[in-house]
Structure 1
Amino acid sequence: MQFPPGMVAVAVLCGLVAAAAAALSAVGARRSAGPHRQAYALLAAASGVALVTLLVGAAVALATAGHAGHTPDGHTGWAGVVAIGTATSGLLFSAGLLRLPGVAATAAATVRLALDGLVMATAFWFVGWVVFSEPTRLLGDATPVACVPILLATVSAALTAGLALIVAFRAPPPRGRAAWVGVGATAVTCGGLGIATGLCQAGPGMALAGAGVLAAGLVAAASAARRPDAADRPPPDLIRRDGAYAFVPMFAMAASAMYHLLQDGRFDALGIVAGSVEGFALVTRQYLTLHDVRGYARRLAEREAHFRELAHTDQLTGLANRRGLLQALHRCAEAGAPCVLLGLDLDGFKHVNDMRGHDVGDAVLAEVGERLRANLRPGDVAARLGGDEFAVLMHGQPADADRVAERLLGVLGRAYDQPEGPVFLSVSIGVAGWTGEPDVELLLRHADLALRYAKQRGKNRIERYDAAYDQLLRRRTTLEHELRGAIERDELRLVFQPVASLPSVRPVGAEALLRWRHPVLGKVGPDEFIPLAEECGMIAKLGAWVLHQACHQLSRWLADGHDVWVSVNVSPRELHAPEYVVQVAEALRAHRVPPQRLVLEVTEHAVATDLDELIRRLTALRLTGVRIALDDFGAGYSSLGQLRRLPIDILKIDHGLVAEHEPVRPVGRDGPAFAPMVDIVMRLGHQLGLEVIAEGVTTPTELAAVVAAGCRFGQGALFGWGVPAEHLEAMLEAATSPGARPAPTPAPAGPPAAPPPRRLPTLPAPRPSGPGSAQVEQGS
């Protein structure tokens, strides 16, 4: 018997297509690389097995169609081979499908997808069993018989179809590759089922139709496997849409079972097995879901605890941060337990960052944290509040805190070894405890006040909070606020302390002194508001006001014919400002004051800051014609080398050298006593070409001593306190009136007897600027 030519053509075409698709899958598997190569290898192996299955089935079908007397029932063995091949290729396709990029990121996700596929496959098989078996027999006479090959092929087709459907819906976008691979795998297994059915029962036509479907499935799978890899994406939500995959299959099985019973059907062993598999798969899947949810909740709790710890911990030192300290303080306040708070600040830490770099600074801060942890008791809390500021919360009495603070003062003051050399720091500590009812904010404020007081009193010390700190802080805050508008409100005044010519004690100059009278606060001393003005940046504004007021008053005195000069104190911050020289020149020009009548007084503290910069500024000021005086000499940092370099004209001896050394009488000589230190400074000043003014002259004995030392000018309470401009003008007029006898201004201790007047120059002669100027004057 001749078999139809169309059947032969279909068989040959299916074989060629299947071979080409299998070849493409093999080439793709060989060229693929990376972590997903295993997926391509599984797909290539599945395509190879499916090709062999197709060739075997097509060959047997053609052989059956070409020989008379052969029936499909005679090829059940070959049908079994096809069914086994179909099941094998289906399993390989399923495994490759699960290994595709982006489908399942972990083994747990793979298990979940496999169980979902099993649930869906069982529902497919059960519904198909109800529809195609007795009594429904949807295919009528073409209904497959219950032989082993067909059963195996149907199970394989149901498993592959169920898994393909799950993966297509559960895979993250884009789902194109997974969907096409699933379609191809389903077509391959359904084609294998058709081949097996044709060999067992339906004849070669069914077998060749199955071969065509199988070849089409191979083409779809091969084309999908050649798509580019999808980017890795985060795993999907563990419980997203799980309810649909649980209820839809169960509803389908329940509905089909009810229909089967209504049609007087019976459940044999296969139906019972299918229902049992569905139930166990659902239970297992839900158990895994519950396990995943519990693990997810546990990880969330762990992360929450971790982030809570991060939120209360300083990352650099490992100590508590401000939030962690506040939490500990609130717990302590709620418990009502006695506790003490220590505020710590590293003295000079900014210089470590500036000179060594922030890496060294961070290493030092980390070492501070280690030392704090190592020297605290169990239960105490150490915290870094920010920068170089730390705190320690101690449970106990203030006496215990004092001992711990003393220990920390020594521990934190030890050297910090670094690769570039040791770092030396000190620490200031403020101590505060509960005052009455526990109040966290108040305790923090008290500890901070105590710490600020410790730093103001010299640093490297311990200060316990005192209620007076509150008053000091409130007054300081009020003064700073009121000082900013004091000039506009006309609350500032200048007073002038006379500088007398010796021994005549005739006033020849004056030092301008700033005074502040507030309408509410009353008189505010300069020792209180001048340092505050320097700290808050107001000193430049005050200095400019004083300069213009002094020049204005000096111009009036000169216009009235008084032979006088005025000196003005200059702060280090003003001196180091580039615009200060221009301000002085403008003030002299605005008030038409001869430059040599203005003296600018510089303290020795300014000399200690930056000598080279100070010399440049003073040189520029002297070029305007003003005189420069070094104030408070002997109480600060000046050295002989600095005096030789400094461009100054006047040396003002500190009152300590005049008042604190009892004048002595030379051995074997008659005459007035003299002060040895004043005598030494006088000789030094004259050798350097400087005029010398003795400050702090308060008694006649001191006056006699400085006169004996050769000092030509004096200043102090003996000659008068700071007085308003009109009072000093009256003194000048009295001293220059015809027949007037100059006398010192009464002092609190009573006016001393003055020596006869002697006409002396009223202004020190200028000396040349620059190094070596003293030698030039001496040589001339």
Structure 2
Amino acid sequence: MAPPFHEHIRTRTAVRAAHFVVPAAAVLVLLAGLGGLIAPRVAVAVGVGMSALWAAAMLGLPAVTHHDGRGPVPAGVHDRRAVGLLTAAALSAGVWAVLPLVAPSTSLPVTAVLALAGVLGVAGAMVLPGGAATWPVRFRRVFDGVGLGISLGFAAWLVRPVSAAEMVALPPTLVGATAVSIMIVVLLGVRPHDGPAARCGWGVVVTLAALTVATNLVVLGHAGAALVTLGVPAVVGLAVTAAGGAHRTVGQARPSAEPPGETPGAIPSAPWRDVRATEPNPAGYPLLTIPAGLGLLAAVYHWIVVGSFDTTAVALGFAMVGTLVMRELLAVSDIRRYAGRLRTNEAHFRSLVAGATDLTLVLDERLTIDWQSPASARLFGLADAQVLGRNFRDLLHPDDAANAQAVIEAVLSGDHADGPPALINARIRDGNGVWRDTESTVSDQRGVPEVAALVVHVRDVGERRQLERALHMLHCTDQLTGLANHRALMRDLLAYRRRAGQQGSLLVIGLHGLADINKAHGRDVGDTVLIEVGSRIRSLLGAEDVPARLGGDEFAVLTADGAVLAYALATRLVTLLMEPYHLPGVIVELHTSVGLAELSGGSDSDEVMRHADLARSRARQLGRDRVEWYDTDVEIKLHRRMDLEHQLLNAADNRELDLVFQPVVNLRDKTPVGIEALVRWRHPTLGTILPGEMLPIARAVGIAGELDEWVLDAACRRLADWSTGDDGFWLSVNVAPRELLATGFPDRVAAVLARHGLAPERLVVEVAEPWVAEDVPAVVAALAALRKLGIRAALDDFGAGQASLSHLRRLPVDMLKLDRTLMNAPTEPIVGPAVVEVVVSLGRRLGLEIVAKGLETEEEIDRARAAGCLYGQGFALARPAPAERIEAYLDTHRSERSH
């Protein structure tokens, strides 16, 4: 269970109080000795001994754990080696303080204890956290300390030779001075210098220095006030040592989550460690230079003054020289090892750079290339002679140099100091003279003394750019035709509107017949046709025009031309796309509908596309191979068409369909011989809609067959209701080609006639001549099936299609209804009447009844009668009328005939 917070505060308060109480008591004891209240040796023994025991106890205290609200935080972790050695050194200082009181006339035990304290202090300093981390470093620092002590001792000996009586103090002096020197050298390498570990070590130095001088006093027999006075620095040194060690019980940083001691062979973490000790530069300790120089100066002075050296001086001199030599040998060994490590690192660096996928360049502030990595020849084929000494801009493409210069100047001005490295996208000419797409990062290393330059890492991104372009092509190109797709067209449309000031036009092209080609010949043939369509469209466009495939059978063209030129272009496209497509083993044809919209007519690109598509839809409604120009009327008509398509589906159920009848009369006596049923749609809001508008809608929505059946049934019912008194009076109805060719159509017609009790010969089925040309054999078979049932057939609108005369011999028809264009030809040119006469003459030879349609004037009636037409139909003879009026009309003519 975690201790409460007040206990932690109590522990910290007790520790801080101990820092002041025990050293203060020790100093008071020493002051009492100076005042003569206590014997000097007793004061030293009590004061220093008490401080030594207190310091040992403080160093041996366990680490204190406190809580910061997130969990237990250990205040420190024991470094067992350092703590143990320093504790033993403190206890040795206490033993030294008691020895003069126990054995006042013996110098050997005091010197021995001093030596023991020095050895323990040096050993503890060696393993202090932040100090010497390896044994070679520790060994070198021992030599540095020994050399420092011997050099200073040699200089002191030559300057002031000691007497024979003072020779007894030489051993403790050398021992203490050497230990202090070694510790000073070691502590100079501790990082940080003001950390707890350094303070602990410096406390030991102060204590050993005081004990060394005090040992000299004891050995020489001086145990008075001077000895007591030296006890004060000894107590201070022990207090500092204890304070440095006790620092680990005060709030430290939270340790890492990794448990200590899990790494095999690792040195335990010290409570005072702030940074990890690193091995210093082997040439970075000139500690022997100044002491050796002082020794040399002292030797010169002694030679000049005395003229000779005694044995001790010679021994000290040889020891100093030997230490210096050994230190230099160690330094040479370290330098060689360091140089070997540098060579290894350099080899590793060169191998890494040579095998890198980036080219590294080093530039000075004038952007002159001072160095390039060995990878340059492998990656870019650039030799050093081609690059070194040249300006970096000379390698770049002229179009990219300005941007690169701006980026580098920003780097030189420090704009990228705190951010990521600056990036340059530029093309670089390689050794073969080819421009390569590259991406370079520029790093300012002018503040690094080892570099002091700009470092540029160049990477070849050609494959990536090529992949990006390929992905862009896939993203913006139709894969079948190679034209732009819908996404690319909308992007270019937006660019056109911005660049050309909304000048230009958009054409949307719809193909008709592609689905039939796919069904008849397969999708491969259909894809080949689409490819050819794309090629034909591209062949008519200029360099600034954009052809596109919107998907399926829809294409588009974006042009900068105005509406008039764009209309002319659309007309040429219609003409070109109508031409047959000669494919291997097959010839196919397509038809088109083209919608045109001006870019300025829409508020945005989507609206322009919508306008063009509406115009294309309108062109499709009006027929094939047409070009429609968008305006507001087009949209109104298109919406009307869409509404009618939806409403016509329910027109029959809503009783909105109606029939009107137009008589067919004999041109000689103008009596009615038959009647044609015409459908009308009585729309509740739009009024009467004529067949010219309604029948294309019925074919578009797929109800033309149902509409024809309704007309047939309603017309036959009316004919059965009329009592004409003439079984030869016939009824004609119009039938759509798809309904005529439907399976079972003759049987359905026969069933209607039987239901209303009408003879088959009284029904005439009319088929428009322009539709016959699409599939003549199928129409021949369907009409032949009707003729077997006794139902007559009529070829309507004869003369409006192509090669009309060639159909007459093949089609099993009984009646020929001439198109009104033949009857409306002017009389003065011989061509018009001659054609009518030829047609009528041919029809008579084939045994056909001839009906002249569209007669609107008496002149046209006379012309038809003169040409030999037996029957006529038109406004000049009788207008279409409802069933009730037609019934009255028939009654009137029947009455006239009876009179």
Q: Give the TM-score normalised by the residue count of structure 1.
A: 0.53
Residue 606 of structure 2 corresponds to 441
Residue 735 of structure 1 corresponds to 893
- Three-state SS of the structure 2 residue aligned to 1:532 is helix
Structure 2 unaligned spans of 5+: 1-132, 140-257, 271-275, 280-329, 360-438, 441-458
- Three-state SS of the structure 1 residue aligned to 2:558 is strand
Deviation for aligned residue 1:543: 0.5
Residue 528 of structure 1 corresponds to 693
Residue 504 of structure 1 corresponds to 669
Deviation for aligned residue 1:368: 5.0
1:552 to 688, 710, 717: 717
Contact (CA 8 Å) 2:663, 2:878: kept in 1 or not?
yes
The alpha-carbon distance between structure 1 residues 639 and 333, as it changes in their structure 2 partners (threshold 3 A), is: closer
Residue 568 of structure 1 corresponds to 733
The alpha-carbon distance between structure 1 residues 658 and 297, as it changes in their structure 2 partners (threshold 3 A), is: closer
Residue 717 of structure 1 corresponds to 875
Separation (CA, whole Å) in 1 of partners of 2:571 and 2:780: 43
Residue 385 of structure 1 corresponds to 550
Residue type matched to 2:476 in 1? H
Contact (CA 8 Å) 1:316, 1:366: kept in 2 or not?
yes
Deviation for aligned residue 1:350: 6.2
Residue 760 of structure 2 corresponds to 595
Contact (CA 8 Å) 1:507, 1:735: kept in 2 or not?
yes
2:769 to 570, 583, 604: 604
Contact (CA 8 Å) 1:339, 1:433: kept in 2 or not?
yes
Residue type matched to 1:731 in 2? Y
Please list, as runs of the form range in 1=range in 2, the aligned pairs for 1:469-480 lying within 5 A after superposition: 469-480=634-645
Separation (CA, whole Å) in 2 of partners of 1:623 and 1:654: 27
Separation (CA, whole Å) in 2 of partners of 1:735 and 1:372: 62
Contact (CA 8 Å) 2:617, 2:638: kept in 1 or not?
no
- Three-state SS of the structure 2 residue aligned to 1:435 is helix
Residue 253 of structure 2 corresponds to none
Indicate whether 1:315 and 2:479 are aligned: yes
Contact (CA 8 Å) 1:394, 1:401: kept in 2 or not?
yes
Separation (CA, whole Å) in 2 of partners of 1:321 and 1:545: 46
Deviation for aligned residue 1:388: 4.4
Residue 325 of structure 1 corresponds to 489
The alpha-carbon distance between structure 1 residues 590 and 132, as it changes in their structure 2 partners (threshold 3 A), is: farther
Deviation for aligned residue 1:383: 1.6
Q: Deviation string for 1:209-242 (max 9, x for gaps)?
A: xxxxxxxxxxxxxxxxxxxxxxxxxxxxxxxxxx
Deviation for aligned residue 1:318: 2.3
The alpha-carbon distance between structure 1 residues 133 and 411, as it changes in their structure 2 partners (threshold 3 A), is: farther
Q: Which stretch shows the higher mean deviation, 639-648 or 287-296?
A: 287-296
Contact (CA 8 Å) 1:491, 1:516: kept in 2 or not?
yes
Task: State the aligned residue count.
Answer: 491
Higher radius of gyration, 1 or 2: 2
Contact (CA 8 Å) 2:724, 2:894: kept in 1 or not?
no
The alpha-carbon distance between structure 1 residues 501 and 350, as it changes in their structure 2 partners (threshold 3 A), is: same
- Three-state SS of the structure 2 residue aligned to 1:719 is coil
- Three-state SS of the structure 2 residue aligned to 1:477 is helix
Deviation for aligned residue 1:583: 1.6
The alpha-carbon distance between structure 1 residues 485 and 290, as it changes in their structure 2 partners (threshold 3 A), is: same
Deviation for aligned residue 1:582: 2.2
Residue 850 of structure 2 corresponds to 692
Cα root mean square deviation, aligned: 4.9
Q: Deviation string for 1:713-757 (max 9, x for gaps)?
A: 3322233111111111112222233xx368xxxxxxxxxxxxxx8
Please list, as runs of the form range in 1=range in 2, the aligned pairs for 1:580-591 lying within 5 A after superposition: 580-591=745-756
Deviation for aligned residue 1:324: 0.9
Q: Deviation string for 1:37-86 (max 9, x for gaps)?
A: xxxxxxxxxxxxxxxxxxxxxxxxxxxxxxxxxxxxxxxxxxxxxxxxxx
Residue 6 of structure 1 corresponds to none
Deviation for aligned residue 1:493: 0.4
- Three-state SS of the structure 2 residue aligned to 1:645 is coil
The alpha-carbon distance between structure 1 residues 505 and 663, as it changes in their structure 2 partners (threshold 3 A), is: farther
Q: Which stretch shows the higher mean deviation, 335-344 or 574-583?
A: 335-344
Please list, as runs of the form range in 1=range in 2, the aligned pairs for 1:300-449 lying within 5 A after superposition: 303-333=467-497, 337-345=502-510, 359=524, 362-363=527-528, 365-366=530-531, 369=534, 376-395=541-560, 397-398=562-563, 401=566, 429-435=594-600, 438-449=603-614
Please list, as runs of the form range in 1=range in 2, the aligned pairs for 1:442-457 lying within 5 A after superposition: 442-453=607-618
2:784 to 619, 622, 628: 619
Deviation for aligned residue 1:494: 0.6
Q: Deviation string for 1:633-655 (max 9, x for gaps)?
A: 33334655532332222222333
Deviation for aligned residue 1:542: 0.6
Deviation for aligned residue 1:489: 0.9
Separation (CA, whole Å) in 1 of partners of 2:485 and 2:535: 15
The alpha-carbon distance between structure 1 residues 576 and 703, as it changes in their structure 2 partners (threshold 3 A), is: same
Separation (CA, whole Å) in 2 of partners of 1:627 and 1:591: 17
Contact (CA 8 Å) 1:604, 1:638: kept in 2 or not?
no
Residue 646 of structure 2 corresponds to 481
The alpha-carbon distance between structure 1 residues 698 and 343, as it changes in their structure 2 partners (threshold 3 A), is: closer
Separation (CA, whole Å) in 2 of partners of 1:639 and 1:262: 108
Residue 540 of structure 1 corresponds to 705
Separation (CA, whole Å) in 1 of partners of 2:278 and 2:356: 35
Residue type matched to 1:580 in 2? F
Deviation for aligned residue 1:469: 1.4
Q: Which stretch shows the higher mean deviation, 411-420 or 498-507?
A: 411-420
Residue 198 of structure 1 corresponds to none
- Three-state SS of the structure 2 residue aligned to 1:609 is coil
Separation (CA, whole Å) in 2 of partners of 1:417 and 1:735: 60
Deviation for aligned residue 1:417: 7.5
Q: Deviation string for 1:317-347 (max 9, x for gaps)?
A: 3221111111222344466553322334567
The alpha-carbon distance between structure 1 residues 440 and 552, as it changes in their structure 2 partners (threshold 3 A), is: same
Separation (CA, whole Å) in 2 of partners of 1:617 and 1:352: 25
Separation (CA, whole Å) in 1 of partners of 2:265 and 2:746: 101
Q: Which stretch shows the higher mean deviation, 404-413 or 577-586?
A: 404-413
Q: Which stretch shows the higher mean deviation, 359-368 or 505-514?
A: 359-368
Q: Deviation string for 1:536-593 (max 9, x for gaps)?
A: 2121111011011011112212598886321111111111111312221221222222
The alpha-carbon distance between structure 1 residues 392 and 506, as it changes in their structure 2 partners (threshold 3 A), is: closer
The alpha-carbon distance between structure 1 residues 719 and 401, as it changes in their structure 2 partners (threshold 3 A), is: closer
Separation (CA, whole Å) in 1 of partners of 2:541 and 2:837: 58
Structure 1 unaligned spans of 5+: 1-129, 137-246, 666-673, 743-756, 758-780
Separation (CA, whole Å) in 1 of partners of 2:349 and 2:573: 65
* Identity percentage of aligned residues: 40
- Three-state SS of the structure 2 residue aligned to 1:542 is helix
Contact (CA 8 Å) 1:430, 1:465: kept in 2 or not?
yes
The alpha-carbon distance between structure 1 residues 709 and 469, as it changes in their structure 2 partners (threshold 3 A), is: closer
Q: Which stretch shows the higher mean deviation, 253-262 or 316-325?
A: 253-262
Separation (CA, whole Å) in 2 of partners of 1:392 and 1:678: 46
Residue type matched to 1:587 in 2? V
Q: Which stretch shows the higher mean deviation, 254-263 or 312-321?
A: 254-263
Separation (CA, whole Å) in 2 of partners of 1:575 and 1:355: 22
Separation (CA, whole Å) in 1 of partners of 2:726 and 2:602: 70
Q: Deviation string for 1:361-406 (max 9, x for gaps)?
A: 5455445545655665555432222244322223465466467657
Deviation for aligned residue 1:274: 6.6
The alpha-carbon distance between structure 1 residues 490 and 445, as it changes in their structure 2 partners (threshold 3 A), is: same
Separation (CA, whole Å) in 2 of partners of 1:625 and 1:577: 19
Q: Deviation string for 1:264-292 (max 9, x for gaps)?
A: xx996669857985898599779989969
